[in-house]
Amino acid sequence: MRTIDISEDTLFEAIAFRAKVYYELIKFRLSALVTFSAVFGFILGDSGVVFSWGKFFALMIGGFLISGASGAANEIWEKDYDKLMTRTQNRPLPLNQISLKEAYWFTSLLALVGVSVLWIFTNPLTTALGVLSMILYVFVYTPLKRVGPIAVFVGAIPGAMPPLLGWTAATGAISHEALIIFGIQFIWQFPHFWAIAWVGDDDYKKAGFKLLPSGGKKDLNTAIQIMIYTLFLLPLGLLPTYFGLTGLNSGIVATICGVLFLAQTFSLMRDCSRKSALKIMFGSFLYLPIVQIAYLLDKV
C-alpha cells in the first residue's frame, strides 16, 4: 500500500494558510474593536463588590464570535461586489481561497456558538441584543448599502450595540446610562462612515454602494452634515460626567477630543478634498477608543 509523506513544514503552511483565510473572513481587527467596545460597556456597568469574571469572558468570547459571524456573512453576501472593488478584491471569497459552502458552515458555526455562549453565561437580554445586532447588520444594513444612505442610519444601530451589550451583560437591564454610551457610539458612526465613504467613493461606485448623503455627492452639503454629527459629540461626551457615571477628568478628555475631531470637519468644508476626509476617518478611529478608555479610567 502506497503512503503519502506530508512533511511537517507543508502541514504547517496549510494550517497557517487556512488560519489566515478565516482571520480575513471574520474581519478580525474589526471584530476585536467591537469586542473592546463591549468590554468597555461591561466594565463601566459592573458595580459589584466582586468582578464578574465569568460573564466578562463570556461576553468577550460570545461577542467576538457574533461579530466575526456578522463580518463573514457580510463577505458572503457581497462576494460578487467585492470582486469589483480594489479594497476588497483580495478577500478570501473573491480569490476562491475558501468555498462558499465552507464559508456558510463556518459562519453558521460561529454564530451558533457565539449566541450559545451569551445565552448560557450572560442573560437573555444580552443574547437578544446580540442576535438583533447580527440580523440588522447582515440582513438589513448589508443589502441597503446599494439602496441609499439610509444604510448608514441602519448600520449605526448594530454598530453602537457593543457597549450596550456589555452594560446589559453586567447589569441585566437597559438604563439611561446604557443609552448614553449607546448614543455616543451611534452618533460617532455618522462622521466615521461618511468619511470612509468619501475616501472610498470611487471604489464603492463600482459595486453600486450608495452611502454618502446629499445625493451621494462629495460636496459642501455632505461636509456640513459630517460637521453637524461631529458637533453633537461634544454635549453627548459630557453626559457620563453629568449623570455621575464618570468623573470630571473624562469629561475634559471627551471635550478636547471632540473639539479636535470637529476641527477636522472645517477643513473638509473648506476644500472638500479626499485628504481632509482621510483626516476625519483617522480622527474617528482615534476618538472613540481614547474617549472610552478615559471613561474607564475615570469611572466613579
pLDDT digits (tens, 9 = 90+) for 261-287: 999 999 999 999 999 999 999 999 999
pLDDT classification of 1: cutoffs 50, 70, 90: very low
Bridge partners (DSSP) listed for residue 299: 246
Q: In 10 A of CB 13, how many CB atoms?
A: 11
pTM over 0.85: yes
Can you tell me which residue has the cell 478584491? 89
Give the model confidence (pLDDT) of 116-156 as tens digits: 999 999 999 999 999 999 999 999 999 999 999 999 999 99
Residues in the chain, overall count: 300
CB 170 within 8 A of CB 188: no
Could you give the CA distance from residue 117 to residue 38 in angstroms, rounded to a whole number?
A: 15
Residue 41 C-alpha from the chain's centroid: 14
CB 39 within 8 A of CB 169: no
pLDDT at residue 228 greater than cutoff 80? yes
Distances (CA, A) of 127 to 63, 110, 169: 9, 14, 9
pLDDT at residue 28 greater than cutoff 90? yes
In single-letter form, the type of residue at position 223 comes to A
pLDDT classification of 7: cutoffs 50, 70, 90: low
Q: Coil, helix or strand for 113?
A: helix
CATH number belonging to the domain at 14-172, selected among 1.10.357.140, 1.10.10.10, 3.40.47.10, 2.30.30.140: 1.10.357.140
pLDDT classification of 40: cutoffs 50, 70, 90: very high
Residue 77 C-alpha from the chain's centroid: 18
Could you give the CA distance from residue 42 to residue 32 in angstroms, rounded to a whole number?
A: 15
Residue 98 has what pLDDT? 94
Share of the chain above pLDDT 90, in %: 91
Smallest Cα–Cα separation from 115: which of 145, 73, 53, 70?
70
